[in-house]
Structure 1
Amino acid sequence: MTDGPLVKAIIKSIEGPKIEVECLFNPKEYQVQKTNNWGPADNSTKDASDLTFSGGSGAKLSMQLFFDTYLRDNEKTVRDVREYTDQLWQLMNIQEALRDPKTKKGRPPKVLFIWGKNWLFNAVITSMQQQYTLFMPNGMPVRAMVTVEFQEALEHRTLRGSGEGTYAISERVRHDAQSYKDSGDLRAKYGRR
């Protein structure tokens, strides 16, 4: 494992209003998928037809993000986790600044997913699902899992990383959060009461 500071993943708008979401914990993993369209040639006279390439689609990047405000450094009070996750939802909303003057149709902004020097992915967010998993006694959510899918807007670049430290730290916190799910207070384990 490489020593050094934990580099946080960031999702930010690259047009319209400035919205930037720093991930509280980095993704445990992510998945990239790309498809090409192949079909049978129209003039084939064989049993197995010739294939014709009819174009490709942009890559899709999907991941699950972990948000936990119950386990925050240097904070005396616990905050509502929606303060962070609502910013992601903003990136799916139609922005007035991006309304086409001719058609009057609006759209959500393009975004950039950045994780240090590991990933730079220019995309739009096509789907999000949020699950709340821990609540304060008054019902305020303090832990959430957000599954998000990005559709490539420009050809992406994979950049080489600088170590596995972020994965190991993120994995340890996720494991502990799952272990303490029913029994309680992760802040005691990490000395953050």
Structure 2
Amino acid sequence: MQENLNELVKAELTHLDSLETVTVDWNPNKYSVSKHRELVAAGAPGGTGASCEGQFSTRLFLDSTRRAPRERNLREIAQKLEGWMDPDSPGGPPPKIVFLWGPFRFTGYIERLDEEWVRFDPDGTPVRGFIRLQMRG
């Protein structure tokens, strides 16, 4: 059976502390992953060795035009993700979030979130748009 490449696929983001999950429609046209290794010199604070950090970015597609009116406000999804950017305690680290789509998994924290809304209900409620997501882990 041939896969329909134009069909929207569900991606999930899960907050690892609360286990809350956000499921979004994601058109998997691309995502980016990069790794960065930082070497720590001998005698420097933190000792010797290396730390490795990864970065992930993608563009999430959101569309609620076929949902019931009370489930159409996509800003609620964006606001939840924005809340996940904040540390759980003052001065603490941001919460760990898992992005999962098919076999791909990235665990880290949300570093940046940009919203673009392109379709609205008559009352101004955004019902279609994109969220550019950047994570670091």
Distance 2:9 2:120 in 1: 28
Q: Could you tell me which runs of 5 or more consecutive residues in structure 1 were left unpaired when the two chains were aligned.
A: 39-53, 153-193
Amino acid at match of 1:112: V
After superposition, give the CA deviation of every residue in 1:109-128 in whole Å (9 maximum; x if it has no partner): 10111112x21211111111
Give the number of aligned pairs.
Answer: 126
Instruction: Pick one of 62, 67, 82 that aligns with 2:75.
Output: 82
Contact 2:55 2:136 survives alignment (8 Å) = yes
Contact 1:27 1:66 survives alignment (8 Å) = no
Q: Moved runs in structure 1, 4+ residues, more than 6 A?
A: none
Structure with the largest fraction of strand:
2
Distance 1:106 1:34 in 2: 24
Larger radius of gyration: 1
Structure with the largest fraction of helix:
1
Tell me the TM-score normalised to structure 2 length.
0.75
Distance 2:61 2:133 in 1: 11
Equivalent position of 2:86 in the other structure: 93
Distance 2:97 2:38 in 1: 26
Q: How does 1:178-189 map onto structure 2 within 5 Å?
A: none
Tell me the TM-score normalised to structure 1 length.
0.56
Identity of aligned residues (%): 28
Distance 1:76 1:105 in 2: 40
Q: Could you tell me which runs of 5 or more consecutive residues in structure 2 were left unpaired when the two chains were aligned.
A: 40-48
